[in-house]
Structure formats: structure tokens, C-alpha cells
Structure 1
Amino acid sequence: MSLLQHAILMLLLPLASAVVIALFLRRRGAIAAYLSTVTAGAIAVIALILLQHGERFEDSVEWLRFGSFALSLGIKFDDLAALMMFVVGFVGFLIHVFSLGYMHDDAARARFFGGLSIFMFSMIGIVLADNLFMIFIFWELVGFSSWLLINHYLHKQSAADASKKAFIVNRVGDFGFLLGIIMCYWANGTVNFTELGALGAAQKLVFSTAIPLLLFCGAMGKSAQMPLQVWLPDAMEGPTPVSALIHAATMVAAGIFMLCRINVLMVPDALTVIMWIGTVTALYAALCAIVQSDIKKVLAYSTLSQLGYMVAAFGLGSLTTRHEMGGMVHEVVLAAGVGAAMFHLTTHAFFKALMFLGSGSVIHGCHHEQDIFKMGGLAKKMPVTFITFTIGVFAIIGMPGLAGFFSKDSILYLAMEKNSAVFAVLALTAVLTSFYMIRLWKLTFFGATRSKDAGHAHESGLTMTLPLIVLALLSLAGGYGAVFGKLGGDIADLIPHAHGSAHTTILLVSLAVMTLGGGAAWFFYKPSDHDTLEEKSRPIFALLTGVKESFDRVYDYYVAKVQQRFAMLLNFLEQIFLAGLIIRGLAGVAGLVGLGARSLYTGSLHAYVYWFLLGAVVLWAFAAGVF
């Protein structure tokens, strides 16, 4: 088989798995689970084969034609796709294995694993797509599979509401995304990535601030950037493996991947907007995470914050570096934003999937308890989960030597070189990250058990602990050049690295923010059944809680008071003028007269009194000559 055939096989395997499960295995959950997991394993193997082979390729076939417009389905497998495919395939396989144990007793696990296969098919389609139209097709399929998986516990109203919220909010961003695709095609005559790159190299590309910003709307939805971030925390209503796969490692990272794909279209003004949206989202989500009591909600807001880091890194754009060789100084302009964003996307996929699966192990061991104030003492009861989860925590707070330390430092260095204000905000966000993660870690694993469920907690089985161990190893080693260089190829060459005094500065900043945030949380919070911050500083706690809820209140007000009333007005106008008068003509007029006459005869004395008074006023007006 050629490498292109391997790629096509990798795309079609999960689709075949989903079809077989839907048609033949709906009542055979065990077989469906193993089929989906074996398929995910095959995807991981093919992704590794394509990654290690080194050959990059692309091909396409025309699918639809309307006059001069042709819609093609094609594959573009370069270093960017290879890196993202490894993340999707390998992390996805580990989460499938974890799900074998986590969903073992679920009555609807066939539907669950079928949904996972549909998601893998959709996500692989995004990664391999060679044009924006094809990305949009799979983009919408990812939205569908996300809705399906969030709503797995469909008997719960909260899960149904969360799935609808995720679907609708993403449609808002996708509308802007579609407009951006159309505008790009109208301006440049193509949306093929290779052709756009060639136009850019030949300086024939039509640049516009509107095109990248409209395309960024899609990333704002999928990667949950402000103001479209409201769906992600609620999406934790889905099973924990769904949170790990879709809302930590892959789907939410699709927006970052798409931005890197369209890097050639970026202009300075668009990058500035993207940079600040990412920066503000990182800070906002970190503040919200401080007051969460649900272990998955803490990780959800942490994911929001880290996605903001990636978006900010991309927005920081290119970086000019100076190297001295042979006595001469050479300047090299790197797409450092792409390198830093993809570097952090990869390491974040490792340690955040680890922590989400670790939280799933905790929830499973504590009989589905999710409140961290009802846990405690789990370090001794669940040693494997504790050790691996600890590695994930230390990775995200930037412990030197772990994966998160290297990727986060590359972003901080880029911010320090490009924009001091962004650097200050991201450094503050890093302090808050250390604060809320050490808070979560201490309240969950230390002290005495604070509930009956925690008291009877137990370590999970091998299918759940083995993925934790593998992800922990990746969280330890994934940031080193020898490892990421193999995974990222040319992308690894774009990562900004500090040298000399800049390296010392970034190292000291990283150590300072980690120590300040983590130390403050360790000494401030005591393992107890109530929030120390709420007890000692209720105004601050109330403020942070209000910040978290403010967006939902604004959106609820808009929907109820503006959108719904506008819809009612349109419905009234349609019923009266369109359906009643224009379409039905005189019959409609007669019907409206009859409707008005019938409304006078209600059988209510109060209504008759009001009509009598109104008639008396009208009669007086005529008698007085008002009309």
C-alpha cells in the first residue's frame, strides 16, 4: 500500500466502525466497544507509520461542480498534519482503552463507542483536509459527534441542555467561519492550502483583515474563546472519557490547528485581535477555575485557559532571530506563533488528557462523586492515579523538566519579545494556574476522607491505569527536543527558544510564578468540606463566581428579552400580513375581521367593561370633533 492509501484507510476505518456499530451492534455493547477500540488502535499505528516514514504528500479528487466552481475532497499530509494526527490517533487510542473500563457497566456503551468512532472519523477528516471547504464539512461532523457524546446521559436534563448549548454556540462561530471561506474563495479564487501558499509566495494573494477574522470565528467556537466560551464548562455533563478526548486533547484543539493551516492569510491587525482574545480568555478562565468545586469543571476552565495561551501564542506571530555564523550575523524570520502554539497543543494534549482520565479514575473510584470537597485522602487509596495525576499537575504548572515547562516557556518568551502587556497577563495567568491546580491536587488527594464514597474509594483496573501511565510518560518526556523533534518535524524548527540573558529571565519567571501560585494555594487551603476562600473572603469568592456566571446571564437575557420577542413579532407579522392578507386576500381580511369580532365575546364581565369604556371614549372623540 502507498502512503496515500494508508491515509485514506485511516480516514475510512472509523467511519466503517461507526456504521457497523449502528447497523448491527446496537445491543452488543462489549463487541462494539472492542471494535471501536481496535479501530482506534489501527489509526494510531497508521499515524505512527506515516509520521516515521518522513514522506509528505497530497492528492485530491473533484467531488461536485457548479459551473466554474468545483468542490474537491483531498488529502494534504505535511509535518503539521503528521503532528496533529499523532495527537488524535495516539491519545484517542489511549482514551478508547480507558473507556473500556470506565463505561463497562453502561447500558448504552454501544452508542457511546459508535459516537467515538464518528468523532475520530470527523477529526481525522479535519486534519487531512487540503482545503477550507473540506475542513468545513468535517468541522460540522465534529460538532454533531460532540453533541451526540455530550448528550450520552440523555435521561439527564442537564446533559440534554449542555449538548444543545454546545451545538448552538458552535453554530454561531461556524456561521462566521463559512462567511470567511466564501470571502477567501471570492477574493483569491481558491481555498486550497497549497494554492494559497503559492499565491502568497508569488505575492499575488489578496490580503484582508476580514478574511482571517471571519475564519477565526470558527476557532472561537471550537476552541471556546471569548465570547463563545460558555459551552465548554457545561459540556462536562458528558462521560469523562468524552471530556478527555473531545474537550481537552483533540476537538478544542482543532481551532488552533486550523489557524496554523491558514497562517498564510494572516495580517498584522488580525493577529493583534487574535492575540488579545486569546490572552483575555486565558486570564478569564483561570479566574473562574479558582472557585470551582467540581473536579471536571476545574479542568474544563483550565482547558479554556490553556487554549487561550495557544491562541495568544499564534497571535504573537513571527519572530526575527539573529544568529552569528562564520563571523556574519544572519536574520531569520520564523513563524514562531505556529511553532509555539502547536508545541503547547501537543504537550497540553498529553498532560490534560492525563488529568481528565485521572479525574475519571477518581470519579469511578469514588462511586461517581465529583465534588473535590467530598474527596480527600485518595493518595493512599489510589496510588497509581495519584502519582500519574501529580505528574499532570506538575506539567501544567511548569515544573522544570516536564513537558509543560518547555512549551509554556516558549510562549512566555515569545510574549516577552513581542508584547510586554501580553507577557504580564500570561505570567499572571501562570500564577493562577499554579494556584488552582495545587488547590485541586491538595483537596482531592490529601488529608482525611470527607465522605462515605471517598472512604470506600479504590484503585481502578488495568484498562484505566495503563493509559494513565503512558500519558504520564509522555507528559514527562514530550517537551524534550529529541522527542518533539521526531513528532513535529519542521514544526519543531519554528519553536522560539530563549538564549543567554533571555533564557535566564524566562527560567526565573517560570520558577517564580510556579512557586508563588502553588505555594499560596498549598498554605491557604486546608483539606476540608468547605471552600477556604469562600469562608475567609466571601466578597472575592462572590466576585469570581459572578464573573463565571455573567456571560450566561447576558446570553439568557438576550435570548429571552430580545431574540424571542423579535421572533414573536416576525411570527405575528407572518400570520397577519403574509399568511392572512397577501396569500389569502379578501378571505384573509374577512377572517381577521371575524377573529377581531370573536375576541370581543370572551364571557368576561371585566373585558366587557373595558370595551364599553373604550367605545365611550371613541364616541366622545367623534362628538368633540377630535377626528
Structure 2
Amino acid sequence: MEKFLYIALFAPLIASLISAIFAFFKPLRIIGYFNSLLIFISMLCSFYLFSYIYENNFAVEIVLFDWIVIGNLDLAFSFILDHISAVMLLVVTIVSTMVHFYSIWYMSEDIGFNRFFSYLSLFVFSMLVLILADNFAVLFIGWEGVGVCSYLLIGFYYKKRKASASANEAFIVNRIGDMGLMIAMFLIYWNIGSLNFDIVFKTISYLDNSTTLLIGIFLFIGAMGKSAQFPLHTWLANAMEGPTPVSALIHAATMVTAGVYLIIRCNEIYLLIPNLGLIIAYLGSFVAIFAASMALVNNDLKRIIAYSTLSQLGYMFVAAGIGAYSIALFHLFTHAFFKSALFLGAGNVMHATNGNLDIRKMGNLYPKMKLTALIMIISSLALSGIFPLAGFFSKDKILESVYSQNYLILYTTLLITAFLTAFYSFRLIMRVFFVKANYEETNSSIHDAKKLALISISPLLFLAIVSGWFEKSFEEFTTRVLPTFTINLNYEVVWLLILIASFISIFGILLATFKYKKEERKEKEVGFLQNILLKEYYIPKIYKEVLVKPYYRFSKFINIYIETKLIDNTIDKIAYFAYDLGAKLRPIQSGNLSTSLRLMVFGLLVALIFIIVLLVY
């Protein structure tokens, strides 16, 4: 069993290193197939590992080597395979495999083809280290690795100023969250003396409430950065500057799910601080409706889907916040498949329209891209929570959980979000595939993606349909290590909640369908509310004015007056003084014997005077 875990973990790293050797060579298609094959092998091992945990029902700890042994700190570079990491392992490797195969087609004409696959495989390896980690230190290595890889992939087209700026933003904002995680780790070690999960979770209950609360807060700040929760959310939409397969991987199975995973993994800490959990839930509900509202008016194909990810992450944090950790993990599980399929479908559209992202300049693509349209429609229905697709089971389970605990504000917010989700999802579908065409004649040769791309998406689409059907077995499997969350509702109420949620979503779909079916393409004046939503509630502008510009001015002041005028000038003056003194003393080294003797006598005289003064006093 151990060797299968090593293969699953290190196959992506081997793929990345070999691709890196050819990074600056001309594009080699064989590199894409080689990487994809190794990720596929990792996926097969993940299936075996999952089945092993399912059958044996106990966690397996594997120590790779002793790592840090200093004083009381004894850390091994070790991994744990339990029910949580087995699920995450399956999600990451399935989505990653399909994204890798898809990228062979999508990136085939890109000069950075080999470099792209090196980054992509390293991204997968970093995420696997994160989810398999047996202690906070190893988790932090994976955590930072994911951050670095996201920087490399978001800024893959580094010659584009916007891509470079977006990569920097993602990296910097995530460093804020990472500082929170580091502080939590310091607090844990200071108070417990260990960073190993098993020791920490067993002894955390012995700490005083204020310390436990601080640890929980700083862990959540770390999660906020990676999962782009408000106010550390601005990087997520801008991350769309990277290639579309990167967007699929970041939003479905790697970076943004890391924060949710951290909260689920640390559930034993959050169970001790339920009030903090409620704050997390309310913030999650705010993010859900906040992101959905911005998706309503946005016209960028990828950004709309990105906002939907942010909104769905809000659902996951709501479930985790109220203690329904298994349900939060279930929504993460189902969401990964329909969201990755949706992004890759968007990649097909982009590829066909020469990189166009403005849905207002599309339309009537259905006759030319029927399979892609089918992929995106089914994925959007799953996202909207329509029976019998995967999203129906996981999203409705969250709504039922919230309602059963009498959190009516949370329930109402998530219900409104469900309506908005259905509306903006089918606004996108209608504008891209069914309204009157509005693109240049140069795009008249639009056609569907190649077979490799469509075949790569097919397993994701299949899982977007059926993964929700395993709701009961998933709950039974994950609650072996996660706390059971009981939904105290009778049969009639559950069915009523299902009908309400389904009606809300169907109404949103129908409203969008009829509205945009009859929409005339005229330049309309942007209204006040629409402008606020398009400007993302002016939050990026506020950050720029309140944080970025003052920091820039402060840095400029430091650079000019402290570094240049004070430090540099002081050092320069010392250097000039030493040089001038040397120039003045240079004649002493003339080699003239009489001059040297006079200097020796003078020196001897000075030394004698110094000795006499010391003796007298």
C-alpha cells in the first residue's frame, strides 16, 4: 500500500522535473502525453488507495524520513491517508488527469508548451503534499508550493502586463493569509509543543478558550487567503489571466479548495469554538450572495464562472461553519467535477473564437459547437442544483442543514444565491450559444473542439451527473473520521425544502432563458446598480486608494529620503573619506629611506608619550 501512495504522490513531481529539462526547447507534444500519463498513473493509485481505506476503515501513517529534530520539536516528513485525504486525493487526481490531457490540445500551439506542463504537474504535486500531510509543517510546504505554482501559472503569459500584475496580486494577497497560518502554527507549537495533527487534536481541548480562539482565527485567515474569502477575494477573478486549463485546476481541485480542506481537517479545533464557526458561516453566506451578484452583470466568460466558484466556496464555508463538515466536503467533491467541466467547455469556446471572452460578442454558437454547448448546459444545470445532477444533492444538503439549525438568515441568503446562480449561469448559456450571433466574420469558421479535448471532458461531465448519487455512501464513509451532523427534519419538511430550492433554481433558469432569448443587442446605458456590480462594489478601487497608493508613496519616500539620501549618501561619504585619506597618505609609501626613518621616529615618540601618560594616571 505504501508504494502506491509514493507513486501517487511523486509521479507528478517526476513529470514536472522531466518537463523542466525541456522547458526552453521547442514544443514537444510527447511531453504533454508523458506528463498526462504519469498523472493518470497517480489517479489509478489514488483509486486503489481509496478502496484500501474504504475496505479497511483505518488511517495509515507513512514516514518518509525524519525531518526536524531540535529540542522538543520532533517532526517527520510524514503523510497520512485517512478518509478525508483519500477523498481529496481522488478529486485532485481525477480533475488533474483530465486537465492535463485537455491541455495537450489547448496549449499545442503555445511556444511555452513544455514549461506549462512542468508548472502544471508541480501544481498537482504541491496540492497532494498539502492534502496528505500528517503535520502542519508538511502541510505548510504544500500550501506554499501551491501558492508559488499559482503565481507561475496565472502569470504564464508574463509578457502581458495584466497577466503579470494578476500573478503578483494572487501571490501577495495569499501571503497575507499565509501569515495567518504561520501565526496559528507558532501558537500551536508554543502551547502544545508539537505540530503533528494527532497530538494537536488530542490536546487542543486542554488549552484555555482564548488561546484556542486565537488559533482558530488565524487558521481561518489562512483559509480565507487560499479560498478567496472576503476581504481577501480580489485575486480570484483576476487569476483568469492564466490559460483556461489552469483556471479549471485552480477553481475545481487545487488552490481554492485548500482553505476549505484546512477547516475540515481542523474540525476538532473548530468544534471547541462554535461561535467562531457561526462567524465563518455568516461570512460564507455573505460571500455566496456577494459573488453571485457580481456574476449577474459581468460579460467576461471566465470571470462569470470564477465568481460562481467564489459563491460555491461560500456554501462550503457555511456548511463547515455550522459543523456539517461531511456535507461541506461533499459539496467540494461534486463541485470539482461540474466546475472543471464548465471551465474546460469555456476553453473550447475561447479556442473557437480566437481568444474572445466577451459574451456580448458571441451568440448562436450552438449549431457549430453542439457538444461543447451540451457540456456547458449540463454543467450549468448541475451548478444550479437541478435534479438529478450532482449539484442538486450537495447544495440541497447544505440548505437542509442550515434550515434544520434554525439559521433562517443563512437559509434565506443561500436560497437567494441559488436563484442568482441559476440566472447568471443561463444568462451565460443563452448569450454564448442561442441569441443572435454578434461576432466578426473572421470567426465564421468556428467549430467544436478536437476529439482529445472532448474525450478529456467526458469523465468530468459524467461525474458531474452521477457523483451526487453517492450521497449516502459518501456520508457514511467520511463520518468515520468527521463528526456526524444530524438533520432533525421530518420527511415532509425535507421534501418541501427540496421543492422550494428546485422551484427557485428552475425559475431563475426560465427567467434568464426568456429574457435573453428576446433580448435585442443594443448599447444600453449602464445603470447605477449595474455599474457598482461591474466595478466589484468599488472594493478593488478602495484597496488601491486606501492601501496600494499610500504604501507606494511610503515606499517611494523610504527609497528617496531613507535609502538614497540617508543610507546611500552616508555610505558614499564614508567611501569618499576613506579614498581621500588614502590619497593623502599615499606619499608616505614613497619608498624613500629618510622619510621612512623620520616616520618611525615620530611613531616611537608618540608611543612613548602615550606610555608616560598611562603611567602618570
State the 1:316 CA deviation. 1.4
Q: Deviations over 1:149-174 (max 9, x none)?
A: 11111221111111111111111111
Residues 445-594 of structure 1: matches in 2 within 5 Å?
445-451=433-439, 452=441, 455-481=444-470, 485=474, 488-490=477-479, 494=484, 499-526=490-517, 530=521, 538-546=527-535, 548=536, 550-571=538-559, 572-573=561-562
Q: Deviations over 1:416-442 (max 9, x none)?
A: 122111111111111111110110111
Find 2:305's aligned residue among 299, 302, 314: 299
Give 2:376's aligned residue: 389
1:107 partner SS = coil
CA-atom RMSD in angstroms: 2.5
Structure 1 residues 562 and 490, CA gap change in structure 2 (3 angstroms) = same
Bigger drift between 211-220 and 495-504 goes to 495-504
Residues 147-158 of structure 1: matches in 2 within 5 Å?
147-158=151-162
1:406 aligned to 2:409?
A: no
Find 1:261's aligned residue among 236, 260, 265: 265
Counterpart Cα distance in 1 of 2:227 and 2:147: 12
State the 1:575 CA deviation. 5.6
CA contact (8 A) 1:446 1:527 kept: no
State the 1:519 CA deviation. 2.3
1:102 aligned to 2:91?
A: no
Structure 1 residues 494 and 372, CA gap change in structure 2 (3 angstroms) = farther
1:244 aligned to 2:267?
A: no
| Corresponding pairs, count | 563
Counterpart Cα distance in 2 of 1:272 and 1:405: 24
CA contact (8 A) 1:187 1:206 kept: no
Find 1:276's aligned residue among 276, 282, 293: 282
Structure 1 vs Structure 2: percent identity of aligned residues?
34
TM-score, normalised with respect to structure 1 = 0.85
Structure 1 residues 436 and 570, CA gap change in structure 2 (3 angstroms) = same
Counterpart Cα distance in 1 of 2:237 and 2:136: 28
Give 1:52's aligned residue: 51
Unpaired runs of 5+ in structure 2? 578-617
Counterpart Cα distance in 2 of 1:494 and 1:383: 43
CA contact (8 A) 2:382 2:465 kept: yes
Give 1:62's aligned residue: 66
Counterpart Cα distance in 2 of 1:160 and 1:583: 35
1:7 aligned to 2:26?
A: no
Structure 1 residues 379 and 363, CA gap change in structure 2 (3 angstroms) = same
1:41 aligned to 2:28?
A: no
1:369 aligned to 2:356?
A: yes
1:525 partner SS = helix
Counterpart Cα distance in 2 of 1:453 and 1:196: 61
1:430 aligned to 2:433?
A: no
Structure 1 residues 519 and 102, CA gap change in structure 2 (3 angstroms) = same
Structure 1 residues 20 and 586, CA gap change in structure 2 (3 angstroms) = closer
Give 2:584's aligned residue: none
Give the partner amino acid of 1:31.
I
State the 1:34 CA deviation. 1.4
2:308 partner SS = helix
Structure 1 residues 315 and 531, CA gap change in structure 2 (3 angstroms) = farther
Unpaired runs of 5+ in structure 1? 318-336, 589-627
Counterpart Cα distance in 2 of 1:310 and 1:135: 21
State the 1:411 CA deviation. 0.8
Q: Deviations over 1:231-276 (max 9, x none)?
A: 0111101111000011333211111111111111111222122112
State the 1:487 CA deviation. 10
Counterpart Cα distance in 1 of 2:171 and 2:516: 37
Give the partner amino acid of 1:59.
I
Q: Deviations over 1:557-615 (max 9, x none)?
A: 13444222333444434666666679979999xxxxxxxxxxxxxxxxxxxxxxxxxxx
Counterpart Cα distance in 2 of 1:131 and 1:549: 39
Bigger drift between 575-584 and 28-37 goes to 575-584
Counterpart Cα distance in 1 of 2:94 and 2:520: 38
1:420 aligned to 2:408?
A: yes
Give 1:73's aligned residue: 77
1:432 partner SS = helix
Bigger drift between 579-588 and 500-509 goes to 579-588
TM-score, normalised with respect to structure 2 = 0.86
Give the partner amino acid of 1:343.
F
Structure 1 residues 206 and 70, CA gap change in structure 2 (3 angstroms) = farther
1:378 partner SS = coil
Counterpart Cα distance in 1 of 2:244 and 2:557: 42
1:64 partner SS = strand
1:89 aligned to 2:105?
A: no
Counterpart Cα distance in 1 of 2:522 and 2:140: 44
2:178 partner SS = helix
CA contact (8 A) 2:326 2:479 kept: no
Give the partner amino acid of 1:294.
D
Q: Deviations over 1:504-525 (max 9, x none)?
A: 2311221222123222222222
